[in-house]
Amino acid sequence: MAHVDFYILDNNGTEHRKRCACALAGKAWHEGHRVYIHASSAEEADAMDQLLWTYNDIAFLPHERVRGDGKSDIPILVGCGEHPPSRADVMINLSHPVPPFFSRFAKIIELVDDEATGRELARDRYRFYREHGQTLQTHTLNQNHG
């Protein structure tokens, strides 16, 4: 059973959501986890890959795009639709609906922006996880912490 954390953002900008994903990936990595960032499209995965290089001027997050079978020693991988990495234990989900492989992760992070459509899609994912017996928790992130 996965532990699913929904982070409610106080800003509806796509860039803010992506920056929060970077920050949470960095935090998980520093806590010893391996992270898979599941993007909604190849374009979003490319954008996340680029942002992970530049989002923090004084820190480096070791990452790469998922290749082939998803096997990699890099602690943060970014993909969309590929087989998720076998060693990752945390997934940051930026897509809708919930990917079919969600249950293989110990922890799932969902980011919810302050936009009506995004909130409604997040509610659908919340119901999905609840119906599948996952442990759910909600947090609020303000702009000063993301």
- At the topology level of CATH, where does 3-145 sit? Rossmann fold (3.40.50)
pLDDT for 144: 52
Q: What is the pTM of this model?
A: 0.92
Taking only the tens place, the pLDDT of each residue in 81-100 is 877 878 899 999 999 999 99
Higher-confidence position of 95 and 70:
95
pLDDT for 74: 92
Can you give the residue ranges of every domain in the chain?
A: 3-145
Query: CB of 112 within 8 A of CB of 98?
Result: no
When mean pLDDT is compared across 24-38, 58-72, 97-111, the lowest value belongs to 58-72
Residue 14 to residue 30: CA distance in whole angstroms: 25
Residue 4 to residue 140: CA distance in whole angstroms: 14
- Distance between terminal CA atoms of the chain? 27
